[in-house]
Amino acid sequence: MTVESVKPPTSAAAQASQLREPPLAGGAVPLLGHGLKLVRDPLAFMSRLREHGDVVRLKLGPKTVYAVTTPALTGALALSPDFKIDGPLWESLEGLLGKEGVATANGPRHRRQRRTIQPAFRLDAIPAYGPIMEEEAHGLTTRWRPGETIDCTSESFRVAVRIAARCLLRGEYMDERAERLCNALAVVFQGMYRRMVVPLGPLYRLPLPANREFNRALADLHLLVDEIIAERRASGQKPDDLLTALLEAKDENGDPIGEQEIHDQVVAILTPGSETVASTIMWLLQVLAAHPEHADRVREEVESVTDGRPVAFEDVRKLRHTNNVVVEAMRLRPAVWILTRRAVTDTSLGGYRIPAGADIVYSPYAIQRDPHSYPDHLEFDPDRWLPERAKDVPKYAMSPFSVGNRKCPSDHFSMAQLSLITAAIATKYRFEQVAGSDDATRVGITLRPQRLLLKPVPR
Ligand code: HEM
């Protein structure tokens, strides 16, 4: 059949059915397809996919998954209404963390929930969190003793949970709870990742020690959230914060939202909030230790702005190099390294056919390290974010918070705390890795160092 003989398409679906099928990525083996490669070294696997095409098909066992490999197409995917949040990553999160929170909802419920949480994250709401962020950032520098080893995993988790909980849920009681939350989240996230990449359903129900530990941690996470909600209600107070907004929220019919949704919303905000920020703080500590020349520049910049007083929230917007260090750390080690969507209709991406129901995957890690987008792509070079150079970075080649209607609501909130923490700790200390430290990348739901142990050396 020639192209001329094709009747004009009557619908998007008909149009989509006439498109090409994306090429199959190389290296598939019988039965397992690309599964083994993906499980063995997911970062390297995802980073090589662009060699095979802009959109490629992957075989994961019997299932076909589509991978998008160019910045422009990741933007098109995130912005198109033909795709929704779904797929193995989200199903696994939903099953464990709840089905009614903003991170996994779609359609009108999602829009309503975003409207409820958005005011707490707006740019003009962030300065109100400044004093807490300052206290927590400087709290780290006084907590750490010169010469003593810092376990960066627990310290980063601790400060991330405390900032999220104190700013958004206004809990003054957070120390003991922060500890519990950190422990619960660490076990839950590790277990969730395992359940996602090795989906052996019934095996995870056996009374094995690892399963019992996982179930205990998950139960404690939900219990903690119930306690936080119950305590706020018992206090009779309604401070102007995210928890009040959630407790007072109304559904599409104007009725109060149900208990389950309130619970799931708190979980859906606390869990992505602490794991992502904690992982990024770990990488910032690693960067300060590995690149003392940039740590020195951060300190010089901070001192030129503060003239020796402790760095304050208002200083952050003047700290250009500090901010560029944070952005560059996030480029090379994005906490969220993989994202998935599901096609809601027969559709297309980059001229390729994507059938309804297909799972689509892409990796911000691969996109942000792509040599097509970045000269010296593996170099840690914060100056690439100076305006005269940043203008050459292709659109969507640096979107660690994603774009479109699922964009992270917390981009300003996160960047403010990350820059402030970096400024505060680099002004007070140099960092050195100690024996037993391992800064190799550990792949889980987020990326973080295997086990980063640092010695703070006073400046
Ligand atoms: C370095 C820090 C962070 C990074 C890199 C990050 C990254 C992301 C990304 C990439 C998404 C979009 C997921 C997708 O497109 O499928 C997302 C969504 C989300 N993030 Fe963040 N995040 C960070 C911090 C936080 C914090 C601190 C909070 C809350 C306190 C938070 C709450 C959320 C929520 C609720 C969503 C779901 C939004 C929706 O589906 O409408 N994140 N985040």
7 pLDDT band, cuts 50/70/90, is very low
- Ligand 1 centroid to Cα of residue 311, in Å, is 27
User: Any idea which of 80-94, 118-132, 281-295 has the lowest mean pLDDT?
Assistant: 80-94
Q: Which residues contact 81 (CB under 8 A, 6 or more apart)?
A: 344
- Ligand 1 centroid to Cα of residue 330, in Å, is 14
- Ligand 1 centroid to Cα of residue 101, in Å, is 13
252: exposed, middle or buried (C-beta count within 10 Å: 0-12, 13-18, 19+)? exposed
Ligand 1 atom nearest residue 268's Cα:
35
408 lines ligand 1 (CB under 6 A): yes
Q: Which residues contact 187 (CB under 8 A, 6 or more apart)?
A: 213, 214, 216, 217
Residue count of the chain: 459
Rounded CA separation 239/217 (Å): 30
Whether residue 394 has pLDDT greater than 80: yes
Who has greater pLDDT, 240 or 434? Answer: 434
Ligand 1 atom nearest residue 160's Cα:
27
22 pLDDT band, cuts 50/70/90, is very high
Contact 364, 337 (CB under 8 A): yes
Listed residue (283, 379, 294, 393) closest to 330, CA to CA? 283
Q: Which residue from 337, 408, 413, 420 has its CB within 8 A of the most atoms of ligand 1, so it is best to mutate?
A: 408
pLDDT digits (tens, 9 = 90+) for 343-391: 999 999 999 999 999 999 999 999 999 999 999 999 999 999 999 999 9
Rounded CA separation 337/362 (Å): 8
CA 46 and chain centroid, separation: 17
167 lines ligand 1 (CB under 6 A): no
CA 390 and chain centroid, separation: 22
Whether residue 260 has pLDDT greater than 70: yes
What is this structure's pTM? 0.93
Q: Under DSSP, is residue 27 helix (H, G, I), strand (E, B) or coil?
A: coil
pLDDT (0 to 100) of residue 165: 86
- Ligand 1 centroid to Cα of residue 149, in Å, is 31
Q: Which residue from 111, 228, 276 has its CB within 8 A of the most atoms of ligand 1, so it is best to mutate?
A: 276
User: Any idea which of 29-43, 118-132, 242-256 has the lowest mean pLDDT?
Assistant: 29-43
Distances (CA, A) of 127 to 11, 122, 424: 49, 10, 17
- Ligand 1 centroid to Cα of residue 162, in Å, is 17
pLDDT (0 to 100) of residue 9: 44
268 lines ligand 1 (CB under 6 A): yes
pLDDT digits (tens, 9 = 90+) for 104-121: 888 988 999 999 999 999
pLDDT digits (tens, 9 = 90+) for 414-423: 999 999 999 9
Rounded CA separation 201/215 (Å): 14
pLDDT (0 to 100) of residue 88: 66
Whether residue 337 has pLDDT greater than 50: yes
76 pLDDT band, cuts 50/70/90, is very high
Helix (H) or strand (E) holding 213: helix 209-235
Ligand 1 atom nearest residue 90's Cα:
16
pLDDT digits (tens, 9 = 90+) for 165-213: 889 987 666 667 777 888 888 888 888 877 777 767 778 888 889 899 9
